[in-house]
Every structure is written in structure tokens, then in C-alpha cells.
Copies of this chain bind each other. A is one copy, B any other.
């Protein structure tokens, strides 16, 4: 993606660089980190309009309207998150910017597939409109898997023609993660069409555990990155095969500690930093990409390389010109930090403007008014307790095991507790009922299953954030609280809810697509913390129970997931019954 500068823009830059015209801003006295050479040298930086006009030795005669003293600070290019689902922050674009810009983030590559799953192409258009003209640049990858799989009871479907239409939107840089890797391997027509519908874009991947010839096939199809890598050998195989390795450190999926050692003298230009899904609490507590930089340096990666992964490499991977370096001609996205270990931003310049100082924005960001089409999206069927009945069956039942800080689940077999011929939540052994209710006002289907790991002793938690179809998902110690929680999610047009004793105890409304709040980052984070605290009081030991809950429905990540159409075995790629179908299946599964 080129930045479309006019002849007049170029003239202003040329004249400012040569000292024939004035700069708007000059930043003096800092050590500038050069991502091209890995050096850090003292230099002055002159900015004209939105761009850097020149980087020159200290005390160069640069006339400017504004002088910023950056003595003793390091200047870095603004940080880029190369793959993030904005919706997971629960924040609007403006509030997201308010939260991440002061940490040094000046650009993100978003995959708006959550809002697409709820509100389709119009939802993507509205999200992008809301993200326009903010001081953080939102580059867009076009969702390739809405729904994630065909069987998913999704609100909307985007086919190749829809994707091609969306490619005309501003700042489109690629095709978003091709999660349907099985569809790729089977060379399904609709998938191949999606892989060829945006001929000028790179294609991001999603290939957890893919290896050997299947990985070769997936890459031969044109998919050139992966952010689902969890293991060092897996990462090495993908790097060798030619993929850009997106090292992910999100709120739940945290892979950086395992993958940092893959960054070496030969591979550093092929690695990127991404958060994928990041909760507002983590943004407030840890920061954004600055946190990942801190961790990389902690693991022994040089600061220059860590920064390069989050700047120039991102620009190169997505073919974005004039971005990713503190250098003449680049967009003036600049972070000033006090040291190269903590990466705490003293100030941030975005698009040539001083945008944040000491953690706060200089000017308020413009809020966007959202349309009713995107703020009233939860349409539940009429529900009663009987809708959640699971009839007892023979033998062992399939149980999803949720794993803290992972989006994968394990497939277990266990004998569930029953009462009067019905399966009930077994709080003693932590085998709880989980339900998914279709919420787009279509089938009204309800999926029912069992899950281990949430440890609720009473009450229920529910939410309308449930990747990727965002039906309403709930897990609970009893059906009554599950019902109360699910219904409340419907009443507030989507959100996160805790119910106990038949009452709603705590809630966070997420009216934008049932995914995002209209409140500010600190408010959303505080309410989410209260929700998590209440869940903890009910027995759930997880640090992020709602985010873990939101991944229980994602049928493109192993091993067992619950959709509104029923339990889905990811390896077998089919709906499976709750109870083992044949004698001995339990043992075979355990052995396999």
C-alpha cells in the first residue's frame, strides 16, 4: 500500500528537508533508533505536515514552528500490531485509540471478523468509518472466514464477491486469517475463490499445529503468515517454509515466551508482534505492543530487533510504504521512550502531531455515532429452563476441557452427574453445563454440552462474545442462573453477565454488535474486573473467564467445541453427539 502524496506534498517535504521551507515540528537531542541498520545515534528529526522531512546530525539548523526537546530520550518508530481483532478489546475504535496510543501504538492491522459475523459487510464498513481519521491508523484485512466454518450458526456469510467489494475500502492491506485450513487442504471451491479474489493482497494464515505436507499445501495456496504457532519447532517449520511468523501475546493466547528464541540473526526480519485478542484490562494494566517489546528484550532479543519486528517488519509484510521507521519520507509516527527495556512512552507523535504525553492524549479523540443496525443485534428466541435440558445417555459423555491462557480445548470423556434422567452440572467434579443460543434471530438453535475448567460452585456466566459467530454462550452451576444470565444478555443488546441465586449480579453491556462497549477503556476495564471478581467469588479460578468462555465455540481451533448446532469435533470436522456413540470409543479416543 502506497501513501498517495501529491506533488505539493512532495514539494513541502523536499523544501523542509533542504532548509528552504520551515518544518512544523523539530524533535531535538534524542537518540534515534535506526531500524534499517540497528544503530542508535543522536539526531534531530524535522517534521513537515504528516511526514518526516529529515533526520540529521544533532544541532542541524532546522527552522520549525515547534521545538520538542527529547534530550535523553530514545525515538522509535510508532508501534504496529500486525494482527488484532479490535472487537476483543470491547472498545470502540476511538476508545481503543485512547487506550493504546499513549503506549506507543500508532497503527494496527485489524481483522474485523467479529463484527462481520454479527453485522456483515455493513458492520465492517461502519467499524472502518468509526476508525477513520483517528491518530492511530487502522489497516484492514478482509475477513475470509465469515462464518468460520459452514456448519456454524452464523449471522452472516461473506463470500468471495463480498470480499472483493470490501477490498475497495481505504487502508485494505490483505486477506485476513484463512481459518478454514481444512477447506484449503480439501481445495474447496469457495475457499479457493476466496484465496484468489483479492489478487493484490497478501493472505494471512491461521494454521495451529499444521505441519509437513499439509503445511506445504496451505502455503502453496498463497497463505504467507501464521499467528497460531504455540511451539518453537512448529514456528521453525513455518519460518523455513516461508511464512512470516506472527509472535502472539494476547490476553488468553500467550506464545511469546515460547517463541522468542526463534528470533535470530537470520530470521529477525521475518517475525512480527501481534496481540490477536486483548482485553481492556490487559491494555490498562500491561499496555499494548510496548508490553510485547518488554518481553522480547527480557528474552534477550536486542531492542533494535524487537522494535523492528513491531515496525518496519509489519510495514514490509503488508507492503505499506513510508511507514515503520524514523526516516525521511516516513509518516511521522514516533514514540519517545526513556529506556529500551521498559519502553514507557514519554510522548507519542502520530501523523506529525504531538498526540500523547506521559500516558494521556493531548487532544480528545472524535467519537463516532453508531447506527441502530449495529447497536441492536441480539435477537434471542423465547427461552425457558426446559430449553437447556440434556437427557442422560449411556456411558461416558464428551467433555470440553478449557485450558487457561489457551484457545484450544481438550476432548475428555467422563460420566456426567444426572438427576431424574437429566444431565446436571457436577460442581464437585467441575463438569458444568454449557449452552450456546443462536442470537441472530434465525434458527434459534440451542447447543448443549459439558465443560471442565470453570469451577463455578454456583451461579452462571454468559456473554454475547463467542468467536466467531457470537451467539450467546453460558456456563453455569444450574439451569436457572444460566437462563437468567442468557436472557439478560438479550435484554441489554449484548454484553457479559454474571447471575447467581436467580438474579443478575453484575453486567457489562456491549451494545455495538454485542461485542463492544460505548464506555471508555478505564470504565470497561473496571466493569470487566468486577465481573471477573464476582465470577471468582462463585468459584471460577480463571484470570479471564469471559475470554476463555468466548473461545468455547470456535470450531476452527482444536479439539472439541460447542456450536448452536451441537458439539463439534474439530479433528473429525463434524458434529458429534454428547455421549460416545459406540462402545469402546472412549478408550480409542484416549489412546489416540
Instruction: Indicate if A25 sits at the interface (CB-CB under 8 A).
Output: no
Chain B residue contacts of A10, Cβ below 8 A: 187, 192, 195-196, 220-222
Within 8 A of B (CB), among A219-245: 219-222, 224, 236, 239-242
On whether the beta carbons of A53 and B216 are closer than 8 Å, the reply is: yes
Find A217's partner among B201, B221, B236, B328 (CB 8 Å cutoff): B328
Instruction: Indicate if A15 sits at the interface (CB-CB under 8 A).
Output: yes
Chain B residue contacts of A18, Cβ below 8 A: 185, 213-214, 216-217
Interchain residue pairs with CB less than 8 A apart (12): A7-B192, A17-B216, A18-B216, A36-B240, A37-B267, A54-B213, A54-B220, A55-B216, A56-B213, A220-B329, A222-B329, A319-B319
Within 8 A of B (CB), among A47-61: 51-56, 60
> Chain B's nearest CB lies how many Å from the CB of A241?
6
Find A39's partner among B6, B13, B221, B240 (CB 8 Å cutoff): B240
Given A53-B216, A196-B6, A216-B54: A15 and B187 within 8 A (CB)?
A: yes
Q: Whose C-beta in chain B lies nearest to the C-beta of A7?
A: B192
On whether the beta carbons of B329 and A242 are closer than 8 Å, the reply is: yes
Chain B residue contacts of A392, Cβ below 8 A: none
Instruction: Indicate if A5 sits at the interface (CB-CB under 8 A).
Output: yes
CB-CB contacts of A528-562 with B at 8 A, as 1s and 0s? 00000000000000000000000000000000000
- The answer for the CA separation of A195 and B6 in the assembled complex, in Å, is 9
On whether the beta carbons of A14 and B220 are closer than 8 Å, the reply is: yes
On whether the beta carbons of B7 and A38 are closer than 8 Å, the reply is: no
Find A266's partner among B17, B38, B220 (CB 8 Å cutoff): B38
Q: Whose C-beta in chain B lies nearest to the C-beta of A160?
A: B7
On whether the beta carbons of B38 and A220 are closer than 8 Å, the reply is: no
Within 8 A of B (CB), among A1-34: 2, 4-7, 10-11, 13-19, 34
On whether the beta carbons of A193 and B7 are closer than 8 Å, the reply is: yes
Instruction: Indicate if A387 sits at the interface (CB-CB under 8 A).
Output: no
On whether the beta carbons of B199 and A13 are closer than 8 Å, the reply is: no
On whether the beta carbons of A330 and B189 are closer than 8 Å, the reply is: no
On whether the beta carbons of A221 and B329 are closer than 8 Å, the reply is: yes
> Chain B's nearest CB lies how many Å from the CB of A220?
4
Find A36's partner among B51, B199, B201, B270 (CB 8 Å cutoff): B270
On whether the beta carbons of B265 and A219 are closer than 8 Å, the reply is: no
On whether the beta carbons of A265 and B267 are closer than 8 Å, the reply is: no
A contacts, CB < 8 Å to B: 2, 4-7, 10-11, 13-19, 34, 36-39, 51-56, 60, 184-185, 187, 189, 192-193, 195-196, 199-202, 212-214, 216-217, 219-222, 224, 236, 239-242, 265-267, 269-270, 304, 316, 319, 321-322, 325, 327-330
On whether the beta carbons of A53 and B220 are closer than 8 Å, the reply is: yes
On whether the beta carbons of B212 and A56 are closer than 8 Å, the reply is: yes
Q: Whose C-beta in chain B lies nearest to the C-beta of A244?
A: B36
Q: Which 5 pairs across A and B sit closest by C-beta, in order of nearness?
A: A38-B266, A17-B217, A7-B192, A54-B216, A242-B327
- The answer for the CA separation of A220 and B46 in the assembled complex, in Å, is 11
Chain B residue contacts of A239, Cβ below 8 A: 36-37
- The answer for the CA separation of A39 and B53 in the assembled complex, in Å, is 39
- The answer for the CA separation of A187 and B6 in the assembled complex, in Å, is 12
Find A13's partner among B4, B220, B267 (CB 8 Å cutoff): B220
- The answer for the CA separation of A239 and B7 in the assembled complex, in Å, is 25
> Chain B's nearest CB lies how many Å from the CB of A323?
11
> Chain B's nearest CB lies how many Å from the CB of A544?
34
- The answer for the CA separation of A151 and B330 in the assembled complex, in Å, is 33
- The answer for the CA separation of A414 and B177 in the assembled complex, in Å, is 70
Chain B residue contacts of A16, Cβ below 8 A: 220
Q: Whose C-beta in chain B lies nearest to the C-beta of A215?
A: B328
Q: A7-B189, A219-B327 are in contact. List 6 more A-B contacts (CB 8 A).
A: A4-B199, A14-B187, A18-B217, A55-B241, A222-B321, A222-B329
Q: Which of A53, A187, A220, A241 has the most CB of B within 10 A?
A: A220
On whether the beta carbons of B328 and A13 are closer than 8 Å, the reply is: no
Chain B residue contacts of A199, Cβ below 8 A: 2, 4
Chain B residue contacts of A325, Cβ below 8 A: 242
On whether the beta carbons of B240 and A17 are closer than 8 Å, the reply is: no
Chain B residue contacts of A14, Cβ below 8 A: 184-185, 187, 217, 220-221
